[in-house]
Structure 1
Amino acid sequence: MANKSTDISKFFIAGINYKKTDAAIRGRFAISAEQYEKILTLAPAHHLHELFILSTCNRTEIYGFAEEPAHLINLLCTQTTGDPATFSKIAYIKNGLEAVEHLFQVSAGLDSQILGDYEIVGQIKTAVKFARERGFIGAFTERLVNCVLQSSKSIKNQTALSGGTVSVSFAAIQYIKERIGRVEGEKILLIGVGKIGRNTCRNMVDYLGTRNITLINRTEERAASLASEMGLSYAPLEDAAKYIGESDIILVATNAEQPTLLRTHLEGKGAKLLIDLSIPCNIEKSAGELPGITLVNVDELSKLKDETLQKREAEVPKAKAIIAEHIDELLEWHDMRKYVPVLKAVKTKLKELHSCPVFSRLSGESFPSTVHTDEQIQRVINGMATKMRQHNKGGCHYIEAINEYIAIGPQWTATSAKAVG
């Protein structure tokens, strides 16, 4: 596998996202941490050794080296409710440079449901760290991700692509303001205080100007901690039915495989605004059919447009130019990687040549110091690497030159070394 990982044409991405699939379909292929763990455990049996999975509310993507993308898709779908045939039918599949470009665009927020959404960067870091800790990030993927993150940082610092405050969690606040207006007196319930839940909570406090918010989380301590930090209320999960009945606005940001807020929880409880920030959807769809109930999910929230998004669209060309620069740097590094075995072999041969007593007798000269010779050899190697990159020549010619050098017994001089370089 190590040799295959140097062949960029074997690097694939297979994924689905919001462009061709709705939240319900994406939910069938969403990957939790437990499922991710199981997938990596199974990967070697599928002959896969370098990969990571990005699963968010907008997408599920698997990146990795494989003989063909079906191997990655089959592995992914061992842990999803959706099957490989369905995934393959709706997926986009890219390899080589196209796959690399895709990851750069995803990390920049160019492929996000809300243009410039910077939350994706943290999700990429988490996904890669998870795979790295389990030994599935090799030299190429490590370098790729580092370049991707550097590019994303440059875009954030040098453009206004992520300017303003727009994300799915903030879109929820925009929707509440448009639908409800002033929220004084409205009782708000937030179920789930993971990353999206925390961001949504802070946005409500900052932009709605209310603290009439109750937090409920499966792990009560996390709800209590955030409530204390933000000056809010919290309640245990077993009291959820009571607070659901009393609340006017309910936001759900849980990460359950099945709906946590059911139609039965809401029947006869009056008018409510329900906002589902979860993938898979964690509010039962039929709840939206009840009288007085308004239900929106991440797909509907992401359709919101405003001046901020228009300004971001104007920054896209700048972002793409930055991406192109970082991809060029990555490809230059990758191009040189294929010469590493040859360069190492030449360096070893030169050191052997230096230490060979035959050449000392042939030349009638004493060798320079080891330190000096090491520096001289490194200069030869550096020059050789430059020529190989510029002329795209294989290393066999240089190995032959060294073999000829040994055969004819040339004088060891700096001029001879340069000739080999």
Structure 2
Amino acid sequence: MTKIVKLYLISEQIDKDGNRVDYKEINSILWNLQKQTRDIKNKTVQLCWEWMNFSSDYYKKNELYPNEKEILNLTLRGYAYDHFKQGYDLYSSNISVLTEAVCGAFKNAKKEMLNGEKSVLSYKAEQPLDIHKKCIKLEYDKNFYVKLKMLNKAGKKKYGIEDDLNFKIQVEDKSTRTILERCIDGEYVVSGSKLIYDKKKKLWKLNLCYSFKANEIESLDKNKILGIDLGIACPLMASVNGEFDRFSIKGGEIETFRKRIEARKRSVLHQTKYCGDGRIGHGRNKRTEPAYKINDKIARFRDTANHKYSRALIDYAIRKNCGMIQMENLTGISDNKEHFLKEWSYYDLQTKIENKAKEKGIKIVYINPEYTSQRCSKCGYIDANNRELRAVFKCQNCGFEADADYNASQNIGIKNIEDIIENTLKISSANEKQTKNT
């Protein structure tokens, strides 16, 4: 089981004389490493492209594709790493991580690029800094610290840095503290991570990747499915097919918070024209700084709420002995969806549900939700007129009436529901043609 925790860092760098190194100097070093990272990534893409063209020409002549190790004496990833480990300030293990990632991304996108469905990979400025797991050392001494091996010998000499880069970690909640303690104790295993610059906070953020053995529940019924619908009356509705019992999240808490925060945000933005001396003469960004802080508050509320909702949902799935959860594939949420789905971080909620489900050994399946809201969960009849009222489902065939979100979750909780709907539509279409012909 692999997860990521976001850690904001404060420089604690000390020079050889015991003096604190100015944070601006550390920023400058890391920004230079960002530029080098982008350069290496784009040059690796170029090498991958050249190898692909060489392979194509080789195949035309020999009717078989070339073996990387026979031609390059290395794998393509190894060749790229060997090519760029000199002439840069980046620590060699970190170069290995990023060249491997680019080669993998190129391989995965190759077919789409050749078909013209995707442009050639190109990496823009402000790239995350890839950090090998061996280059991360967590420590605790009244506070949590992390040492990052970012520079090679030439880089350390160039910037006058004799040690690894040392940072104090901002720990804002008990959950983060627990994760760090378990990483230090070895209960969690630290994996390759990324260092990213947050422009709003003006701090570097370590996306620390860690893994642990999932606490799977073996007794769960692998064939029992909990269906989850992204609702209208309720943001989320879940139920087991054939059961009246259901789990739902009401939108009241979210809506109340949104209205209160949006009113506060409008008030703060309105006050910028009358702001005090401390914010006058510092430009628009300084004047609107309190509004951005409100945005951070919204983001924190969403994160906390989604953790709470996902935890409650998984607890419900366990109580119902469900070994599988089926959810809607959110790719391309349409305009006719409830405004809530576009405003709320539903992808984040689904990710949290998936992560917590995996910890318990619950399988996640994503389905195409089309027609699940129009299908009667009792008789299987599909008709748009079944949904004359947005919040109420009433079957035009058998008369079954229920909460629309509950009915949809019942359908989503059926195994192979996509195939069932497709077959139903085919039969319905064939019957319509036969009726017209007669």
Q: Which range, TM-score by smaller chain? A: under 0.3
Which protein has the larger Cα radius of gyration, Structure 1 or Structure 2?
A: 1
More strand by share: 2
More helix by share: 1
TM-score (norm 2): 0.20
